[in-house]
Amino acid sequence: MSTAVAARDALVETSISDFFASHPGLRYVFFGGKGGVGKTVMAGMTAVRLARQGRRVLLASTNPVHSLSGLLGQDVFGRHVPVEGVENLWAYEIDTKDAIERSKHEIREKIQWFLKFAEISTKAEEFVEAATMNPAFEESAMFENMVDLMFKDEYDVYVFDTAPTANARRLLGMSKVYGLWVQKMLKSREEAQSLREALSFTKKKEQDPLMTYLIDFRERIHHARELLTDPAKTAFFFATLPEALPIAVIRRFIDWFTDFGIPVGGVIVNGVISPGKDEELPEFVRNRIAMQEEYLAEIRNRFDGQVRGVLPLYDADIRGIAALEQAAAALFAAPRAASQASG
């Protein structure tokens, strides 16, 4: 009979508790996976658990479709809000619109400056439109926002609901290219500047805002890369259900991340049907259980040694601190072999 406890014993060698214990410097924790697999609830459970251990934790959502306010039963939109009933825990849903507007504003400034510098008399607006209509722009703006949070360094641990998976990968993949590109731009800016200085009568140094921006940009990318690829500080966890599609999704993510040297914390399996002992089960449920067992076997083969926890399917949504803590007890429980070994 498939139950979450049996699945945990079969799948988990190193639990998420063990993982945290062996990574005491962990500061950036991400949850990724297909929609609806439980990323938000797992981020919530982890944040509550870490805060209960006395660490100052920010639970932040970078997802444009927020669900933290619903999860916590508290409005946490647009600002850092202390979570009621949990000391040391703050929650924050990033205001997507605001983040996008700020990014647009920044881009507009750069473009205007550049057009003026190059003495091109075109309206900046067309370029701004072209740069921001692109579908990746929104994602990038959210990513920038997340990086800003990480750099501000106001909390001990940041738990991000919904890993900006495609973005992290893109950013890190591109960071080498960006690095080279910025290097080139800087060189030509330096040349332009020294030429201008040589030609000018006054010897006073001119500020070059584009150069300042490029240097700053390069620093930011470098720093983000440093943090996001440091296995002592960062871990991406991937949530899945014992079903075909969510498994396929996280397999792809894990492969990408491994290729780019982004630390994968492991896999959490959610939604394992766990009937009571003597429960009379309808055929439909028995079929679902049989199906789940096949996928649990697949998970065991594919993610050998990487499964960090298994959660049962509860009979209601996970909402509010009490429900989060109850589920966290299951998520952070040790597998039986480990608990026997440790007495």
Ligand X SMILES: Nc1ncnc2c1ncn2[C@@H]1O[C@H](COP(=O)(O)OP(=O)(O)O)[C@@H](O)[C@H]1O
Residue ranges binding ligand X (CB under 6 A): 33, 35-41, 67, 270-271, 311, 313-314, 317-318
| Residue span binding Mg ion (CB under 5 A) among the ranges 34-42, 80-88, 167-175, 317-325 | 34-42
Strand extents, DSSP E, the chain: 28-32, 57-61, 81-82, 89-93, 157-161, 234-240, 264-272, 307-312
Nearest to 229 by CA among 176, 188, 290, 307: 176
By CB under 5 A, is residue 40 in contact with Mg ion?
yes
Q: Which of 1, 3, 77 is nearest to 274 (CA)?
A: 3
User: Which CB, 321 or 333, lies closer to Mg ion?
Assistant: 321
CA angle 134, 140, 145 (to 5 degrees): 145
Could you list the beta-strand ranges (E) of 177-263. Answer: 234-240
Residue 54 or 70: the one with the smaller Cβ distance to ligand X is 70
Q: Minimum distance between the CB of residue 236 and Mg ion, rounded to whole angstroms?
A: 15
89 makes contact, choosing from ligand X, Mg ion, none, with CB < 5 to 8 Å by partner type, with none
Q: State residue 266 phi and psi, 5-degree precision.
A: 145, -170
Site for Mg ion in 56-85 (CB under 5 A): 67
Taking residue 328's Cβ as centre, other Cβ atoms within 10 Å add up to 25
Minimum CB separation from Mg ion for residue 73, in Å? 16
Q: What is the smallest separation between the CB atom of 143 and ligand X, expressed in angstroms?
A: 18
Q: How far is the CB of 159 from ligand X (least distance, A)?
A: 13
> Which one, of 149, 141, 148, 129, lies nearest residue 167 by Cα?
141
318's contact among Mg ion, ligand X, none, with CB below 5 to 8 A by partner kind, is ligand X
Give the shortest CB-63-to-Mg ion separation in angstroms.
Answer: 6
Site residues for Mg ion per CB under 5 A? 39-40, 67
